[in-house]
Structure 1
Amino acid sequence: MEYRLRALKGYEPAHGNVDVDSAEPLNRSPNEYQRYNLFSPAEWLIELITSLAGLLLLIAMAAVFWSMNGKPLSAWPGPVSLNTVVSILSTACTAALMHGVSAFIGQLKWLQFKQEPQKLSHFEKFDEASRGPWGSAVFLTTVKWNLATLGAAITILRLAFGPLAQQVVGIEQRNVTASNDQISFGYTTVYNRNLVGQGIGNSGLSSRPQDAAMQSAILQGLYNITVPEIFRCTGSCRWKGSYVSLGFKTDCNNVTQATLNTASCGSEPNLPSSNNCNMTTPGGIDIATRFIFTQSATTYYMNTTFDDSLWDTPKGLPRILQTAIYRATVDSNFNSSHVNVTECSLSLAAYRYTNASADGNEFSFGQVEEIDFELGSWGVSDGPLTFRVNASQTLDTPTMEISSIDLGALANFFSSNVVVSQWVAGNFENHGFGVSAALSGDVDIPGRFQKMATSMTSYLRSRPDSKLALGETLTPTPFVVIHWPFMLGPVVIEVAAILFAICTIIQNRRSRKVPLWKSLALPVLECQYDDQFGLIHSEVKDIKEMKKTAETATVRLE
């Protein structure tokens, strides 16, 4: 029994004249189909063009990535956004790629049916595989693998082409720097209020004019008050240079036992329940305490000594003064316990500040390095009025100067009853309690003195005569970052499509016994199925003739 698909009216086997671009001789056997030059539209010209177009579009996409990699997004010149262009290129690339892949799968259908018997249902599965991913997935799982399997895999994988191409483009925020003379912070190598000649030529230490701003810095540190750094910056800024500035440092040690070992105690006349002690720290600072049983006891005592070696030529930068703080707790009878004696020194110092940065109201240094000067580098210049450390090429430091008048005023303040103070708990009338409230109890004395030195150093850097370190503004800017590993997916898909095209063309050019009908619908109407022999055959051999007849024939469904 024979099943026939009704042919278009006027279909006849090709004979007579052949198209001028035919690459085959005219004397074909009855089983041979009309073939043409490789670059004929009836052969593979269109598929070759689309395959080449897909490759060129992929190269164009890679060129876009290469040109924009590491550049600000604002450098993109087109009126259309970068992501949109990538989307257009990837869509066009897959469209061109799939035009050829679809045609090649359709053509391999005829090749497979020519090479060996196939289930007639496979005819539809080949056709569905050439149409889209679902048909390709069915084809991969139900049809024996062949060259068309590669085409089906490409059809499925091309779904990832666009998303992977989009993943290649990444946007990250980077700071773009620009020099700005309004961006600055202060640093200084001089502490000199220029008081020479202002009526202090014959004044003693106690008559030195005080520096109110310096006093404020000292008290802010001792009272643990945080004051923002003084700088100028709008937004985010940075300073790439290294700046050396004059400052202060402290060094504190627990000298409790050594001090208590020097204690000399005794009672007051006519008051046997009293016990007053005098003691001296290893640094030579005197401490006095008092005690009256059930009445009162010293819980805080602070004393300071001015370091006379300041007037000599010291080793390194000079130590200005030393301070000792006595603290204790008392019980209900005013017996002392938890006695602690801490000795701290205040010295001049020089710091190298590197990689400063600011963000809004926050300012910080990336690195703060204390400079260790050579022994004996500090000396007196211009008589007894100025101390100076000469510039050092080895340490990369400038010349620094400090007025002895200002140092004297500083020492005088630390010797005043603002700092030198005591607190007696109980039945005692306290007057000179100074900063006792800030340092009594379990306060971290070394930490407070370190904060005091930092505050004093910041004051020097913010003085009106300080130098300005000019910085750069940091403007957050979106930059294009190309993630090349994601480009591997589209490249593999394109290369696979090119190889698929080459293999399909080579296999189909070997014999004229396989029709070059690709995925066309017209040849199906011409084909006949002979169930007796299990054959599909057609009398029409020339695809051009078939198309020409289709243009002139008029048909309707029976």
Structure 2
Amino acid sequence: MAYAPVHDYFDIHPTFSFPVEHGQYPVEQQHVVSPESRSFSSRRKQQQQQQQQHADADVTELQEVSPYWATPGHPMPTAPSHQRGWSDSTISTEEEPPPPTAKGESVSASASTSMFPPPFAKRAAAYLQRLPDGPWTLEAVATLVSWAAVGAVLGVLARYNGAALPEWPYYVTLNAVIALLATVATATLGVALQAGLSQLKWVRFTEARAPLADAEAFDEASRGTWGALKLLATARGGWLGSFGAVVAVVALALGPFAQQVVTYESRSVESPRGASINRALNYTGALPGKTSSTGFVPILPLKSAVYNGLFAESGRPGAALAFECQTGNCTWEPYETLGVCHSCADLTPFLSVYCANETATGGSSSTGEGCGWQVPQGGGRLDTGLDVFSMTSHIPAARGDMPHSTIVKLVFLGTEAHDGLAGEKKPWARQCVLSACVQTLASAVANGVLEETVVDSYVNTTVLDISNDDDDGKDRNVYAANPRSNNSSAPYVLGIEAMLAMRGWFATVFATGSAIRNAAGFNRTVGDDSSSGSSSSAVVVNLTVGISSGETFFDSDVVTAFYWNYYEYADGLDMLMRDTATSMTVAFRGFQGAEPVRGRATSAESYVRVRWGFAVLPVLVVAGGALFLAAAAYRSRRSRAEPWKSSALAALLHGLDEDTRARFEGDAGGSLKEQKRRARGIKVQLNESDDNRVLLRG
């Protein structure tokens, strides 16, 4: 009975060990080959031949090999203690395993699964068995993972594009997720690039003779960006190696470009909390007053509003208006409200010269004393010898000499123009009116600050005679309804008591007065009503504003305010009248009976905006890496190069032949730089030697 060679079983089943005792088999029957003397390719070929032989052998012949350990009671053969090509560590001394358990599981299998529950061990073993076994499996899986990571980035961005900034647990941000996925894509792509560039080294030496230095060039390119740049600069990688190096370099921008795909912008979104602001449908605020010429006086909020408009000079006369806007940003559709409007007109073309002593007909007298300018119908006068600025007030009479909606009319005159020269006589005149009206407002709150714009206004110019007190049934209220509006509600009403209260009080507040910069004017004593109608409110100041300068006498603080505004601002008179009208409208809207207007509250929201153009580079990089890996694998298979890739063991076992190594012996004591220079001039190719060893032969 013949014995089967022992090495056949070691080659077919490398993990199986025979229980052989020393000295049982003669040396002649042990065909043992040292593993160190066998190359990768020769061992693979021998394994294929032996597998074919065992496939053709009869089953009965295989059974003849096993009687020594299959027959009960037969003694176990032993092997000699020292054999050629073997060491003591390679001879198995493992004892025969115990018989299987009742369920067919060996003791060793039970021991291996004792640390984990049987279901877990079975699932893990089944999963490992299902994995394909190939030279490029790991790289293919890594490429798929890189594709999945980039696809996940694009999927996340597509999901949140145009949406509000997500709020995830533990303060995880969208940028953190994108950075993590981009890092995974870059790392897994590096696996494919490293394997492909490393394998091209063996492909190069398998296909033809190439400089020995190319091995180091490909290894450096597979290890990092600097090596890839060197491979590109030296053009030693061929078209495929250069393509892989380009992908490796461009892959550095995958992460930054993935971060640039997403940006965060702000937009306004409507808040459910809403907004509210008041509008006045009517105003009837008045109190009886014996000191007033009309029998009524305004309530204190209105007086405060008038003073605020005249003297605050804040540029925000409507700041006192109450509104509701919890988000700090609200808008309202245009709405109507009862209010006060102002209008101003230039009367300069209507100025005429007059003289108090009536000695001049068409101009001033020869001395110029007592002559000045006036507007028609006693609107106002200005004496050049004394006055430089004047304010004349006109309160509507009960008999109806003005429109019934008019509250007060003011006429201003001056001798020096706002844009003129100091001391230059350029007389001017301007008329301004405050009237009850209906305003169409567009209101908006931005960052907590209210801004209102008058879109339209309407003033009822009807003239009404209210002097007949006997006709008690006559309605003397002021009504206003804008005919240009689509609002079909009832007209807005200003009560006659409130109108009379404002007219009576304005006759005192806007009393006729002037500003004088003549020494003769200062002879008037403050509080002396016998000279030029000065009142107790007269002041003397050394005022410098605009082109006006010098010590000036003012009859009242109101005259001082209009004088200051005229010379300080280009439209100073109009601005002061507008501020006063706006402040009075705020008082109307804050009175009882005001109606709230609902608006739309908005808040700033950060949202995601995706710039898809930046996503092109990550997609191209991953696609380029997959294409390079496929090309490298195809090139390796076509050239029949072993898939050794970056294996250091393959480089150690398949070194240089003796002749090529001898060419470096003279440089053994030289520097590494000198050896690298010598390697560039030595060309080698991967061939088999006489003893079936694969070597780099020169």
TM-score above 0.5, yes or no: yes
Aligned residue in 2 for 1:159:
252
Aligned residue in 2 for 1:515:
642
| Residue 286 (structure 1) aligned to one of 364, 374, 379 | 379
Residues 514 and 289 from structure 1, CA distance in 2 versus in 1: closer, same or farther, beyond 3 angstroms? closer
Aligned residue in 2 for 1:388:
479
Contact 2:265 2:609 in 1 (8 A): yes
Cα deviation, residue 126, structure 1 = 0.8
CA distance in 2, matches of 1:128, 1:308: 103
% same residue: 22
Cα deviation, residue 352, structure 1 = 2.7
Cα deviation, residue 391, structure 1 = 6.7
Aligned residue in 2 for 1:51:
143
Residues 421 and 503 from structure 1, CA distance in 2 versus in 1: closer, same or farther, beyond 3 angstroms? same
Q: State the one-letter code of the partner of 1:385.
A: R
CA distance in 1, matches of 2:619, 2:580: 64
Could you say what secondary structure the match of 1:384 adopts?
A: coil
Aligned residue in 2 for 1:447:
575
Q: State the one-letter code of the partner of 2:573.
A: I
| Residue 426 (structure 1) aligned to one of 507, 514, 522 | 522
Where does structure 1 lack aligned partners over 5 or more consecutive residues?
1-6, 23-38, 330-334, 547-558
CA distance in 2, matches of 1:528, 1:392: 103
User: Which one is further off, 516-525 or 475-484?
Assistant: 475-484
Map Cα deviations across residues 391-433 of structure 1 (whole Å, 9 max, x no partner): 7585447542222332233233333364333345332235232
Residues 416 and 355 from structure 1, CA distance in 2 versus in 1: closer, same or farther, beyond 3 angstroms? closer
User: Which one is further off, 47-56 or 317-326?
Assistant: 317-326
**Correspondences of 1:464-543 after superposition (within 5 Å):** 464-471=592-599, 474-509=602-637, 511=638, 513-529=640-656, 534-538=684-688
Could you say what secondary structure the match of 1:15 adopts?
A: helix
Q: State the one-letter code of the partner of 2:271.
A: A
Q: State the one-letter code of the partner of 2:258.
A: A
Map Cα deviations across residues 444-463 of structure 1 (whole Å, 9 max, x no partner): 22222222222222322333
Aligned residue in 2 for 1:219:
307
Map Cα deviations across residues 256-296 of structure 1 (whole Å, 9 max, x no partner): 352234x242189xxx99954686525x343245577xxxx
Where does structure 2 lack aligned partners over 5 or more consecutive residues?
1-34, 53-130, 360-365, 417-422, 467-472, 527-533, 536-554, 661-682
Aligned residue in 2 for 1:25:
none
Contact 1:413 1:419 in 2 (8 A): no
Could you say what secondary structure the match of 2:380 adopts?
A: strand
Could you say what secondary structure the match of 1:465 adopts?
A: coil
Cα deviation, residue 72, structure 1 = 3.3
Residues 147 and 20 from structure 1, CA distance in 2 versus in 1: closer, same or farther, beyond 3 angstroms? farther
**Correspondences of 1:310-459 after superposition (within 5 Å):** 318-328=405-415, 337-360=425-448, 362-365=449-452, 367-371=453-457, 383-390=474-481, 394-396=485-487, 398=489, 399-416=491-508, 418-424=510-516, 425-429=521-525, 431-432=534-535, 433-434=555-556, 435-440=558-563, 442-443=567-568, 444-459=572-587
Which protein is richer in helix relative to its size?
Answer: 2
Map Cα deviations across residues 488-514 of structure 1 (whole Å, 9 max, x no partner): 2211211211222232233334x2633
Residues 19 and 62 from structure 1, CA distance in 2 versus in 1: closer, same or farther, beyond 3 angstroms? farther
Residues 313 and 374 from structure 1, CA distance in 2 versus in 1: closer, same or farther, beyond 3 angstroms? same
Map Cα deviations across residues 327-349 of structure 1 (whole Å, 9 max, x no partner): 347xxxxx994433222122334
Contact 2:389 2:514 in 1 (8 A): yes
Cα deviation, residue 224, structure 1 = 4.7
Map Cα deviations across residues 12-70 of structure 1 (whole Å, 9 max, x no partner): 34225549999xxxxxxxxxxxxxxxx95333222211111110111111112222233
Contact 1:244 1:350 in 2 (8 A): yes
Cα deviation, residue 129, structure 1 = 0.8
Contact 2:286 2:298 in 1 (8 A): no
Could you say what secondary structure the match of 2:647 adopts?
A: coil
Cα deviation, residue 160, structure 1 = 1.6
Which protein is richer in strand relative to its size?
Answer: 1
User: Which one is further off, 475-484 or 434-443?
Assistant: 475-484
Contact 2:443 2:450 in 1 (8 A): no
Could you say what secondary structure the match of 1:179 adopts?
A: strand
Residues 111 and 93 from structure 1, CA distance in 2 versus in 1: closer, same or farther, beyond 3 angstroms? same
CA distance in 2, matches of 1:218, 1:463: 15
Aligned residue in 1 for 2:335:
243
Contact 1:54 1:96 in 2 (8 A): yes
Aligned residue in 1 for 2:198:
106
Residues 257 and 15 from structure 1, CA distance in 2 versus in 1: closer, same or farther, beyond 3 angstroms? closer
Q: State the one-letter code of the partner of 1:167.
A: Q
CA distance in 2, matches of 1:254, 1:535: 104
Map Cα deviations across residues 359-416 of structure 1 (whole Å, 9 max, x no partner): 24x3223x4312458998x9x9x94332323475854475422223322332333333
Contact 2:345 2:431 in 1 (8 A): yes
Q: State the one-letter code of the partner of 2:450.
A: F
CA distance in 2, matches of 1:408, 1:65: 68
Cα deviation, residue 112, structure 1 = 2.8
Could you say what secondary structure the match of 1:206 adopts?
A: coil
Cα deviation, residue 205, structure 1 = 6.5
Contact 1:122 1:143 in 2 (8 A): no
Map Cα deviations across residues 150-208 of structure 1 (whole Å, 9 max, x no partner): 11111112222222222333344555542336x5432223223387xx899xx996223
Contact 1:178 1:474 in 2 (8 A): yes
Cα deviation, residue 120, structure 1 = 1.1
Residues 179 and 205 from structure 1, CA distance in 2 versus in 1: closer, same or farther, beyond 3 angstroms? farther
Q: State the one-letter code of the partner of 2:211.
A: K
CA distance in 2, matches of 1:461, 1:19: 105
**Which has the larger Rg?**
2
Could you say what secondary structure the match of 2:297 adopts?
A: coil
Q: State the one-letter code of the partner of 1:516.
A: P
Could you say what secondary structure the match of 1:90 adopts?
A: helix
- Give me the CA root mean square deviation: 4.3
Q: State the one-letter code of the partner of 2:687.
A: H
Could you say what secondary structure the match of 2:45 adopts?
A: coil
Could you say what secondary structure the match of 1:518 adopts?
A: coil
Aligned residue in 2 for 1:554:
none
Aligned residue in 1 for 2:159:
67
Residues 406 and 352 from structure 1, CA distance in 2 versus in 1: closer, same or farther, beyond 3 angstroms? same
**Correspondences of 1:17-166 after superposition (within 5 Å):** 17-18=47-48, 40-76=132-168, 80-144=172-236, 145-166=238-259
Contact 2:342 2:578 in 1 (8 A): yes
Could you say what secondary structure the match of 2:434 adopts?
A: strand
Q: State the one-letter code of the partner of 1:178.
A: S
1:15 equivalenced with 2:48 (yes/no)? no
Map Cα deviations across residues 221-240 of structure 1 (whole Å, 9 max, x no partner): 23353353323445623124
TM-score (norm 1): 0.76
Cα deviation, residue 303, structure 1 = 1.8
CA distance in 2, matches of 1:242, 1:541: 100
